[in-house]
């Protein structure tokens, strides 16, 4: 079995947080993870069809996509 890369582990963490906290905002997500930026990882999850981004006014929220 191949080990997951550090990036894949981080993507899994982010996805789990979004699944547990639908409508989570980027700042909260970054705070929980203890990182400064997660935009590239969030965009990867969107491109993979696992997460969707919804803008409400100036606020951005992330939701899991049900499979």
Q: What is the full DSSP assignment across 17-46?
A: HHHHSTTB-HHHHHHHHT-S--HHHHHHHH
Query: Residue 46 belongs to what domain range?
Result: 6-64
pTM over 0.75? The answer is yes
- Maximum C-alpha span of the chain: 45
- How many CA atoms does the CB half-sphere of 63 hold within 13 Å? 9
Q: What is the pLDDT of residues 15-40, one digit of tens each?
A: 999 999 999 999 999 999 999 999 99
Percentage of the chain beyond pLDDT 70 is 96
Q: Provide the CATH number for the domain around residue 21.
A: 1.10.10.10
50's CB contacts (< 8 A; 6+ apart) are: 15, 64, 65
Q: State the DSSP H helix or E strand holding residue 15, giving kind and residue range, or none if neither.
A: helix 6-20
In whole numbers, what is the pLDDT of the chain averaged over residues? 93
In a domain, 16, yes or no: yes
Asked if the structure places residue 44 within a domain, the reply is yes
pLDDT at 2: 61
Q: Is 53 within the bounds of a domain?
A: yes
């Amino acid at each position: 079995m191949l080990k997951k890369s550090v990036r894949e582990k981080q993507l899994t963490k982010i996805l789990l947080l979004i699944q547990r906290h639908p409508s989570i905002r980027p700042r909260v997500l970054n705070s929980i993870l203890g990182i400064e930026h997660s935009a590239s990882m969030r965009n990867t999850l969107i491109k993979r069809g696992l997460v969707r981004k919804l803008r409400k006014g100036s606020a951005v929220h992330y939701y899991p996509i049900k499979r």
